[in-house]
Structure formats: C-alpha cells, structure tokens
Amino acid sequence: MNREGQVTLDSYRLAQYAVQVPCYICSGPNTFDAELCRNCSAPMALTYQAETQKVHPRILSCIGTSGVGKTVFLGMLMDMLSRQPDDMRLLARGAFSITLQQHTVAALARCEFPDKTPNEPERWNWVHCQIHQTRRRKPIELIMPDMAGEALIEEVDHPDTFPVIRSLLTKSAGVMILIDASTLSGGTSDQDYFTMKLLSYLLELVDDPKHGWHQRPVSLVFTKADESESCFENPLEFAQAHTPGMWRHCEERFQKHKYFAAGVAGACANVRRSDGKLGRVPLRIEPRGIVEPFRWLIEQVWS
C-alpha cells in the first residue's frame, strides 16, 4: 500500500492572510477572504470589482435626515434608469447592487414604503453600477450607498461615530442632499437647520482650496414635492422662502449647486398599522423629477 501523498501545509495557507487587501471606501486593511470591511463594514466586493477596472469607480452620495425618502429616491432612480430607453442607462454590477431596486419596487407595488434603513453599515444597501450615455464612448463606473439618516445625524453631531460615513463623504465626487418639502410647507424649520449643519460638516472634511467641497457639485433635492406644487414650479424660490439659512450657505460657500424638486407618490394616505400607530402609504406611484438631479451631477462631475 502506497502511503505517499501531497498535503498542503497550514503555513502555506496562512501566507495568504499575510497580504492585506485595502478597503475601497476607507482604505483599511482586510484579509483576502473578508466579506465586509472590518473597519467601516463596506462590502469588500466593491474593492474586488474596482481592481478589475482600468478606471476606478467614483462615489456619489445621497444624504438627508431619516424619513426624507433616500431609499425610495435611489431605488426609483435605479429602476427608471435601468428600464427606460434613454440616452442615460444604468447597469448594475454585482448581485448586491440590485437589492435596493428590488426592495423599493416590491414595497411600492404593495402600496407600502420600504423599511427604514438600519443604522448598522453592514445592513445598508450598496450600489455599484455603470452609467452608459450615447455621447460617451466609455461607461461611467459609479458607487452609491444608501446611508441611514439616523446614523448620518449622529455622525454630524459627533464626528467619527461612523467612520464609513466620513470616508464616503470625503471621497464623494458629488452629493445629492434630500430635503423634506412637506414638513417645510407645514412651517417646520428642522430640515433647514440640519441641512446647514450638513453643509458645514462637508466643508470641514476636506481642507483643500482646489478639491474641497466648496468646489464639488451639490444637488439639493426637495422630496415629497407632490404635496407642494409651488416647489415643482420653482425650487429656487421655494428654497429662498422656506430654507433661507441653507440658501445663504450655498450661495456663499458652494460654487456648484442647484435646486430640484422630486416626488414618487402621486398621493398618500394615513392608515392605522397593526401596532396602533398611524403611517403613510402611497396610493399611486407617479415619479417626477427623479432623474434630473442625478443627470445634473453626472454632467458636473464628468464634464
């Protein structure tokens, strides 16, 4: 009986772990078989996919307070760009990049809004996609995360609480700031105050006169504008009237900014949920102004 054979030494296997793989989002070291970054919890699939590209993907961030509609906005944006025959088309890269679109469309089809994004970064939805335009020879590689609004508030008030948010906003080539137009129309100023804090936070991230946030494009999007028709008619006048502090911040500190109005639900109603609390549900889906702020950002970043 022949007892000779080949056995892989454990020391050889351990050699693979000696080479650290840097996270694409925070540059933190990780093992070659890590699924999530141990520092910021971003999917390591973003890193592996970026390594296969000659041009590394850029990051565009969509931010705003909790309940402002970030998940609905991004999910509907992906669905519209991936389905409509237009000069701008979206192609998801990686199975994880389709989850946001799938969950959003499924929830709206049931006349429900998607669940609130959890605070834990490992449970966020991440999108890595290609943007194809007829006038461009090569597609644009893009990463867009669906951040939790409560985590963003905590990071703005207490910096470095969520390292992934700081890394994302530091590396972002542009940003879409979502602002709830329905609460502003009701006379509440919380959205104005938080957006001013958020704009100040962005300026503090990168202290560079040539590449700081005062030079990067900022798209200010009034969501739920279907409940305030004046917002759709003239978003700039709406900003001047309802968010004077934010408007002055942008005029004085951000060279590239523009106001937009967007809405997904044509009509909503209040219903009593199983827990006895009232909740908003969409009665019909009529997306308006979803693609325009994204298209403007693309043109500013890749002009």
State pLDDT tens for residues 211-241.
899 999 999 999 999 888 889 999 999 999 9
Residue-range definition of the domain harbouring residue 24: 14-50
Report the domain count for the chain: 2
Segment 229-276, tens digit of pLDDT: 889 999 999 999 999 999 999 999 999 999 999 999 877 777 877 777
Q: Are residues 90 and 32 in the same domain?
A: no
pLDDT at 268 (0 to 100):
78
Query: Is residue 18 included in any domain, yes or no?
Result: yes
pTM: 0.90
Q: Are residues 192 and 231 in the same domain?
A: yes
Tokens 């939805």 belong to 125
Q: Are residues 111 and 166 in the same domain?
A: yes
Query: What stretches in the chain show pLDDT beneath 50?
Result: 1
Q: Are residues 240 and 264 in the same domain?
A: yes
Q: Are residues 40 and 177 in the same domain?
A: no
| Other Cβ atoms within 10 Å of 300 Cβ, number | 17
pLDDT at 272 (0 to 100):
76
Q: Are residues 164 and 36 in the same domain?
A: no
Distance CA 191, CA 203 (A): 19
Which CATH number characterizes residue 86's domain? 3.40.50.300
Calculate the CA dihedral of residues 89, 82, 230, 257 and round it to 10 degrees.
-40
Q: Are residues 179 and 80 in the same domain?
A: yes
Query: Is residue 7 included in any domain, yes or no?
Result: no
Q: Are 145 and 75 in contact (CB under 8 A)?
A: no
Q: Are residues 58 and 41 in the same domain?
A: no
C-alpha 272: how far from chain center: 30
List 29's β-bridge partners, or say none.
22
Query: Is residue 3 included in any domain, yes or no?
Result: no
Query: Quick one: which of 175, 177, 107 has its CA closest to 144?
Result: 175
Q: Are residues 41 and 90 in the same domain?
A: no
pLDDT at 187 (0 to 100):
86
